[in-house]
Amino acid sequence: MSMDYKVINPATGETVETFPAISDDELEAVLAKAEKAQREWAELDMSERAKIVHRVADLYDERAEELAEIIGVEMGKRRSEAIGEAKYCAKIYRYYADNAAEFTKDVPLDAPGGKAVMQHKPVGTILGIMPWNFPYYQVARFASPNLMLGNAIVLKHAEICAKSAGVMEEIMLEAGVPEGVFQNIYAKHDQISKVIADDRIAGVSLTGSERAGAAISAQAGKALKKAVLELGGSDPYIVLDSSDVKASAQLAYKTRLFNTGQACNSNKRIIVMDDMYEEFVDELVRLASEATPGDYTSEDPNVYMPLSSRAAAENLYDQILRAKDAGATIRTGGQISDEGAYVSPTVITDIPVGSDIYYEEFFGPVLVAYPVSSDEEALELANNTQFGLGGTVFSEDVERAQKVSDRLEVGMASVNIPKAGAEYLPFGGVKRSGYGRELGPVGMDEFVNKRLYYVAD
């Protein structure tokens, strides 16, 4: 049996643990079990499901340090950030347990000659294909509303997150989620194609790359299955003015280095007014040049973590070299470690707008800065992207910032905050950043049968 799911410590390159891929017979058993379990789960009163999902939330809180240790080894996440991720998951599960009944209550419809309502019914079993950058959070925001709706879940996680994926299933079972309602599978790509086509799967939720999104959405479309896609981003981070330029640069740097820059909605393009641009960039360079490598146990803000894998580090390093070849200036950083998966924090300026590399997403600790001379120029640059996930605008003149932010072609626009995010706020994008929404009330609107129920007088 092949052993393709591996936990490899990105700080050292050491293979820590391996997990056997699922066989075709085992996969068939998973789908059969999910179909039966989902029907029984859906028959439970929502209040009963809420009690169980509340217990899921409690377990994420109780086991936060253990969960953090797992992903620290798996993908290099700083311990404090990983603990925060686990506790954020608890908030998400609790939010849907507390609010699902309100979000899914019958909606009366004006229907002369009878009584009509729109109901919210489960649709079946949902396949979740999840990424490695936020191993618990990505699953929580997809799983929690679907569990409360009465859907079942089959989880196919990233190959490097095999242990955390298994632990999530353990937590569900410990909380009282019936066997078969939430199942983790160590499946290969050809098996996933078969799962999508299977009549027992009602929909697919994917968070990942553009390439993966295109492939999965094509397969889902062929099988007439709904898909929700949360893909890449190249979020603009516009600074129109500041009375403390260095402090503004420090906030931009801290935001970009969160999770070692491996966040879809990170500030990938920092757009700064030219009257403070050089001072702003100089501060970014100072911060980046003082950074040193370490592992997930370090809480020193000047210590940076490895990327999730050696392959991720090599891909990012190649992008840096291609940016330089295109005419960009590497102000500092841009080095890859001989061992492990470290790329030093890198500040890049002068990437030619319109070049191939300009349109790519840098998924790692790379700060790309652009000068502009007007609000209109900032907006034009911000919207010159194939992505449309998030974007933010900073100004001490709030009305000015709002006017610019309101015209961002994104799914999530913010003013005077690096990025607005909470369990009660919708998450999702436009353009090549995907479609569909997670979190907030609309997180329950995706994999649901909005059924008309009509009774004639």
- 320-369 pLDDT, tens per residue? 999 999 999 999 999 999 999 999 999 999 999 999 999 999 999 999 99
pLDDT of residue 444 exceeding 80, the answer is: yes
Please tell me which residue in 81, 85, 159, 264 is annotated as part of the active site. Answer: 264
Note if 264 is an active site residue: yes
C-alpha span between 132 and 189 (Å, rounded): 16
**pLDDT tens for each residue of 77-119:** 999 999 999 999 999 999 999 999 999 999 999 999 999 999 9
Q: Which pLDDT tens digit goes with each residue over 116-168?
A: 999 999 999 999 999 999 999 999 999 999 999 999 999 999 999 999 999 99
Beta strands in 98-187 (DSSP E): 107-109, 114-122, 125-129, 152-156, 182-184
Q: Which of 288, 364, 320, 293 is nearest to 11 (CA)?
A: 293
Distance of alpha carbon 434 from alpha carbon 392, whole angstroms: 19
Residue 207's pLDDT is: 96
Q: What is the distance between the alpha carbons of residues 295 and 65, in angstroms, rounded to a whole number?
A: 16
89 is catalytic: no
Tokens standing for 175?
A: 């909380």
**Residue 1: predicted pLDDT:** 40
- pLDDT at 3 > cutoff 90: no
| DSSP class per residue in 29-60 | HHHHHHHHHHHHHHHS-HHHHHHHHHHHHHHH
The catalytic position among 230, 283, 361, 438 is 230
The residue whose two tokens read 């009375």 is 243
Res. 234: pLDDT tops 70? yes
Which two tokens mark 253? 């740097």
Q: Residue range 296-305: average pLDDT?
A: 97
d(CA 381, CA 67): 40
Q: Tell me the average pLDDT of the chain.
A: 97
Domains within the chain, CATH numbers bracketed: 3-230+432-454 (3.40.605.10), 233-413 (3.40.309.10)
pLDDT of residue 169: 98
- Helix 245-257 / helix 277-289 crossing angle, nearest 10 deg: 50
Q: What is the DSSP letter of 275?
A: T
Give 4's pLDDT tier (boundaries 50, 70, 90).
Answer: confident
Taking the CA of residue 6 as centre, how many other CA atoms within 13 Å lie in the half-sphere pointing to its CB? 12
Token code pair at residue 333: 């950083």
> Do 139 and 126 touch, CB atoms closer than 8 A?
no
Nearest alpha carbon to residue 260 among 201, 203, 340: 340
Side chain identity, residue 111: A
Phi, psi of 256 (to 5 degrees): -70, -30
What is the mean pLDDT of the segment spanning 31-40? 98
Please state the φ and ψ torsions of residue 27, each to the nearest 5 degrees. -65, -40
